[in-house]
Amino acid sequence: MPAYTVNALRHALRVTVVALIVAPFGAQAADPPLDLDQPYTATASNPVTYNISISLVFTPPYHTKKAAVWMVRPPSLPGQEVSDYTVTPAPTAEGPDPLYGNSLMYFQFNQPNGAQILTPHYKLVCSELHWDLDPAKVLVVKKYPPTFDRYLRSEQKVVVNDQIQAVARRIVGDSQSPFEKARKVILYVIDALTYGHDLCSLQASSLHALSNKHGHCSDYHGFSTALLRAVGVPARVAYGIEPVDRKKASPSHCKLEVYLAPYGWVNFDVSETDKLLTKLEQDETKSPTDKTAARAQTLARLFGGFKDNTWYRMTAGTDYPLVPAPAAANPPLIRTAYIECDGEPLPDPDPSNPANKLFAWHLLIDWGREAGAE
């Protein structure tokens, strides 16, 4: 069992929810309780400090009476420390969403005229996280507590229907270990999907991925989440920001998180791994032997549980209720913001899509990276 951090140990001692668990590989030490709020049990290393300034610029349609904007404030977590947070203008209201506790901020603009700008500033210390997963130590859970239902359910975009269940059962076969189920699902998704922004849902749609076999990070991880939920493994999509690649048209990026007892939530970047493996396969400078070795190394890092220091989490989970409630249908997720003008949602932009040339809003981000590690 991996060593818990001091904070994680203290938190675990306060947990009272206990589930019936059996070990898949013989006798083990006393099983830990299942806790959705268990801090990451990964080892943090290589911290990098960023001074982040984000400008959300949007243009309400002419004669808009009321514009409403929902954004998310990044949390402090193991592997990411947020401090000195300010936002201009100040939110009209803020608080956690009632399902997952994501920190929502709401802004209201009455009779807005021309472009509107919201600008959060903060300092971020972002570290690599290594879970060093041992498959033999991942426990088989016979029955999850009811608090886990939100991570096993079907949602408006992360759909778990009969078709998804049939595909998932075919993928995992008779595997019982949650780790082995996750490994098989992730390898299937890497093999089945092709990465691209020209045909993507932007909404973590499992059915889009299943039908089109094409998408970007949200489709990879929404599909993976639905398949895992279909075979009884709690999973979620975690959206965040990559404060490093200035060539990217959009800084938003999501990952898959899977609950694997006793490790808790573990991070897997399925789409980026697929992109790395595709690039490796197309590299004509490498020999077949070198490619095989590099592929094995890439997958070993993926299945060991890894988060780099160039991504930080903004939200965990999808299909959570916005507060206050929007006038239109509740969106399936917030990638960077959700905006309504007189009750009509502005389209979520994807500037990485070469066919998309009209945008109602966009993010401008400046991040100063401090030299050296802390």
> pLDDT tens, 43-94?
999 999 999 999 999 999 999 999 999 999 999 999 999 999 999 999 999 9
Q: Compute the C-alpha angle 350/258/326, nearest 5°.
A: 45
Residues 332, 20 contacting (CB under 8 angstroms): no
Mean pLDDT of 114-135: 96
- d(C-alpha 332, C-alpha 339), whole Å: 13
pLDDT-derived band at 344 (thresholds 50, 70, 90) equals very high
pLDDT-derived band at 366 (thresholds 50, 70, 90) equals confident
Q: What is the DSSP string of 214-279?
A: EE-HHHHHHHHHHHHHHTT--EEEEEEE--S-TT-S--EEEEEEEEETTTEEEEE-HHHHHHHHHH
- Please tell me the predicted confidence (pLDDT) of residue 248: 59
- Please tell me the predicted confidence (pLDDT) of residue 365: 79
Mean pLDDT of 123-133: 97
Residue pLDDT, tens place only, 157-167: 999 999 999 99
Residue pLDDT, tens place only, 102-119: 999 999 999 999 999 999
pLDDT-derived band at 374 (thresholds 50, 70, 90) equals very low
pLDDT-derived band at 270 (thresholds 50, 70, 90) equals very high
Mean pLDDT of 173-180: 97
Position with higher pLDDT, 278 vs 1: 278
- Please tell me the predicted confidence (pLDDT) of residue 362: 75
- Please tell me the predicted confidence (pLDDT) of residue 359: 60
- d(C-alpha 131, C-alpha 300), whole Å: 12
pLDDT-derived band at 18 (thresholds 50, 70, 90) equals very low
Q: Residue 331 above 70 pLDDT?
A: yes
pLDDT-derived band at 31 (thresholds 50, 70, 90) equals very low
- d(C-alpha 306, C-alpha 43), whole Å: 10
Closest CA to 18 of 267, 233, 262, 265: 262
CATH architecture group of domain 148-313: Roll (3.10)
The residues, ordered by sequence, that sit 6+ positions from 371 with a Cβ below 8 Å of its Cβ are none
Mean pLDDT of 336-361: 76
What is the token pair recorded at 8? 């994680």
Of 55-64, 185-194, 225-234, the one with minimum mean pLDDT is 55-64
| Average pLDDT of every residue of the chain | 88
Residue 189 three-state SS:
helix
pLDDT-derived band at 202 (thresholds 50, 70, 90) equals confident
- Please tell me the predicted confidence (pLDDT) of residue 352: 56
- Please tell me the predicted confidence (pLDDT) of residue 32: 57
Of 76-80, 168-172, 351-355, the one with minimum mean pLDDT is 351-355
Mean pLDDT of 20-44: 66
Q: Residue 261 above 70 pLDDT?
A: yes
- Please tell me the predicted confidence (pLDDT) of residue 2: 40
Q: What is the pTM of this model?
A: 0.87
- Give the DSSP H or E segment for 306: strand 306-307
pLDDT-derived band at 244 (thresholds 50, 70, 90) equals confident
pLDDT-derived band at 249 (thresholds 50, 70, 90) equals low
User: What CA–CA distances, in Å, run from 255 to 112, 120, 138, 175, 265?
Assistant: 35, 23, 21, 24, 12
Residue 353 three-state SS:
coil
- Give the DSSP H or E segment for 127: strand 116-130
Q: Residue 179 above 50 pLDDT?
A: yes
pLDDT-derived band at 197 (thresholds 50, 70, 90) equals confident
